[in-house]
Amino acid sequence: MKPPSPTPLILGAGVTGLAAGWSSGLPIYEAEGTPGGICASYYLRPGDKTRLHAQPNDGEAYRFEVGGGHWIHWRDQFVFQFIQRLTPVRSYARKSSVFFPDKRLLVPYPIQNNLKFLDLEVTEKVLGEMACGYAQLQSVTTMADWLRGNFGQTLTDLFFGPFHEMYTAGLWKSIAPQDGWKSPADLSLAIRGAFNHVKPAGYNTAFIYPVEGLNALTQGMASRCEVHYGKRVVQIDAQQREMLFADGGRARYGQLISTLPLNQMIRMAGLEVAAKPDPSPSVAVMNIGAHRGAACPDAHWVYLPQSNCGFHRVGFYSNVDSSFLPASAREARDRVGIYVEKSYPEGRKPSPAEQQELCNGIVKQLQAWEWIGDVEAMDPTWIEVAYTWSRPGSNWKDQALNALKERGIFQVGRYARWVCQGIADSIRDGLVAGTALSAMTDRQRGSRA
C-alpha cells in the first residue's frame, strides 16, 4: 500500500477560498485574523480610529469595507441561492454618474448613452465620430485604440481618456482592451440617449448586498470551514510542495488551491516564465464618514475625469443603504459614508506622510464640491493588487498558470487567474474548484485502498 499523500490545502480566505473550503472541507490558510479579504466589512465609531470587526451593540458606527464598495452582481441562479441561504440580502437598481467638476455637472452613467446632458455641439460631434469609428476597430491593439474606435476622439478627450489615465495608473495606452462590458458601445442607444431616456446599461445595472454587511456572508461561509488565521505565506517550496509562514510554521500539501494574485504566487514559489509579467496597479481606498454636504450626489458611485489629487471614483455606501451609517443618523440622513479610490503604479505604495497628504487632499476636494461637511471618521486601506491588466499579445498569464499547475498549484478566482469578475463569479469558481479537488482526492484515496 502506498503511503498517503499530503492533504490538499487552500490558500486565502477571501470569498473564493471560503467557497472552495465550503465545498471541499479542506483546510484554509489565511494571512489575516478575519475572513473575507478585500470583501470584508468593518466598523468605525465617529472620532475613533479603532477598527471593529462586528457592529457595536448600540449601532453607533460607520460600516466600511476594506476594498471599498463591493456590490454583488450575479448571473448564476445557483450562486444567488447559495448567498441567500447564508444571509438575507436586499436588491438595488444601480445609480451611477460621471461628474465634471469644472461645470459641476453630473451625467448619468454610461455617459455615451446620456448625451442629452452635454452641449448640443458636443453631442453632434460624438454621434458623428461614433458612427464613423467602427471602421477603425480593425486595427485595435490597446485600450486607447478601443475607446477611440468605439466612442470617438471627442468623448475620449472629454471623459474616457482622463478617467482611464487615472484608473489604469497611466497604462491605458499600452494595455490590451478589457472590461468592454463596463462601457457598452451601442450606437443606436447613443442616438436614442441624445434625445430621450435610455434604460440603464453596462456594469451592475442591478445588484444585491447582505442586509448585515459583507461580513455576514464571509463569516457565515467561514463558520462552515476549517480556517487557520494569521498564517501569512512568505515562501513556497514548489519542489517539496511545502508552504513557509511568517510565524515560522510550515505546511505540506498534495495539491494547493491558491486564491492569491498570480504575480505574487509566481514570486513566492520562486518560478520564472519567459514572458514579461503583466501589470497590476495598486489602489488606495479612503473610507470617510462625514456630515452630508448640500450638493452631495444621490448616486451609488461617481466616475471622475479629473480631481485635485488623482482619485478616479467616489462611492457612496450610505446612498446604497442607510445601514452603513451610525444608527442615530439613519433616519435623518444627514451623514454620508464614502469610499474614494486612487490608483498607483505597481510597487509605488505611498509613504505614511504621502497617505496623510492624500487624505487631506481628498477631504478638501469633497468639501469644495459640497459633497461633505465635517469629517467624523476617516480610514485609509491599501490594495496591493487591485487591477489585473494584460499587454497586447501577452501570454504571461497562461505561462504562469501552467508553471504553477505543473507543481500542483491551481489558481482560482479573480486575482489568482488574472481576470476581471465580481464576487458571485468568484464564489462560483471556488465552489467548483473545491468540489472538483475533493472528488479527485476521494478517487485517489479509493485507488490506494
pLDDT tens across 375-404, in order?
999 999 999 999 999 999 999 999 999 999
Q: What is the pLDDT of residues 125-159, one digit of tens each?
A: 999 999 986 555 667 899 999 999 999 999 999 99
Weakest-pLDDT range from 65-69, 71-75, 105-109, 262-266: 71-75
Give the span between the Cα atoms of 109 and 96, in whole angstroms.
Answer: 5
Q: What pLDDT is stored for residue 56 in this prediction?
A: 95
Answer with the residue of higher pLDDT: 141 or 5.
141
Distance CA 44, CA 56 (A): 9
| pLDDT value of position 200 | 86
Given pLDDT bands bounded at 50, 70 and 90, which one contains residue 178?
confident
Report how far residue 218's alpha carbon sits from residue 205's, in angstroms, rounded to the nearest whole number: 24
Nearest to 385 by CA among 427, 424, 354, 343: 343
- pLDDT beyond 50 at 122: yes
pLDDT for residue 448 is more than 50: no
User: What is the pTM for the complete model shown?
Assistant: 0.93
Gap between the Cα atoms of 98 and 101, Å rounded: 10
248/233 Cα distance (integer angstroms): 10
* Measured CA angle at 366 (ends 362, 372), to 5 deg: 125
Residue spans of the domains in the chain: they are 1-87+213-276+393-449, 111-193
Note the Cα 343 to chain centre separation in Å.
12
**Residue 2: pLDDT over 60:** no
Contact 288, 382 (CB under 8 A): no
176, amino acid identity? A
Burial (CB < 10 A; 0-12, 13-18, 19+), residue 222, is buried
Q: Model confidence over 324-378: pLDDT tens digits?
A: 999 999 999 899 999 999 999 998 999 999 999 999 999 999 999 999 999 999 9
Over residues 311-322, the mean pLDDT reads: 97
For the beta sheet containing 227-228, the strands, ordered from the edge strand earlier in sequence to the opposite edge, are 227-228, 28-29, 9-11, 256-258, 409-411
**Stretch 36-61: mean pLDDT, rounded?**
94
* Count of other CB atoms within 10 angstroms of residue 126: 23
Please tell me the predicted confidence (pLDDT) of residue 75.
76
| Other CB atoms within 10 Å distance of the CB of residue 158 | 20
268 grid coordinates: 513566492
263 has pLDDT over 80: yes
Counting residues of the chain whose pLDDT is more than 90, the rounded percentage is 86
The mean per-residue pLDDT over the stretch 99-105 comes to 96
Nearest to 63 by CA among 440, 317, 424, 400: 317
Q: Identify the CA nearest to 234 among candidates 218, 251, 209, 221.
A: 251
Q: Return the HEC string of the chain.
A: CCCCCCCCEEECCCHHHHHHHHHHCCCEECCCCCCCHHHCEEEECCCCCCCECCCCCCCCCEEEECCCCCCECCCCHHHHHHHHHHCCEEEEECCEEEEECCCCEEEECCHHHCHHHCCHHHHHHHHHHHHHHHHHHHHCCCHHHHHHHHHHHHHHHHHHHHHHHHHCCCCCCCCCCCCHHHCCCCHHHHHHHCCCCCCCCCCCCEEEEECCCHHHHHHHHHCCCCEECCCCEEEEECCCCEEEECCCCEEECCCEEECCCHHHHHHHCCCCCCCCCCCCCEEEEEEEEEEECCCCCCCCEEECCCCCCCCCEEEEHHHHCHHHCCHHHCCCCCEEEEEEEEEECCCCCCCHHHHHHHHHHHHHHHHHCCCEEEEEEEEEEEECCCCCCCCCCCCHHHHHHHHHHCCCEEECCCCCCCCCCCHHHHHHHHHHHHHHHHHHHHHHHHHHC
- CA angle in degrees (0–180, nearest 5) for 341-199-107: 45
Residue 5, pLDDT score: 65
Q: Which residues pair with 289 in a beta bridge?
A: 337, 377
Count of beta carbons in the 10 Å neighbourhood of residue 76: 13
User: Looking at the domain 1-87+213-276+393-449, which fold is it?
Assistant: FAD/NAD(P)-binding domain (3.50.50)
Q: According to the model, what pLDDT value does residue 139 have?
A: 75
Mean pLDDT across the chain, nearest whole number?
A: 93
Choose among 331, 317, 328, 336: nearest CA to 209.
317
Half-sphere exposure of 78 (CA within 13 A, CB side): 7
Q: What is the pLDDT of residue 76?
A: 78
φ and ψ at 335, to 5 degrees?
Answer: -120, 170
Write down the pLDDT at residue 1. Answer: 41
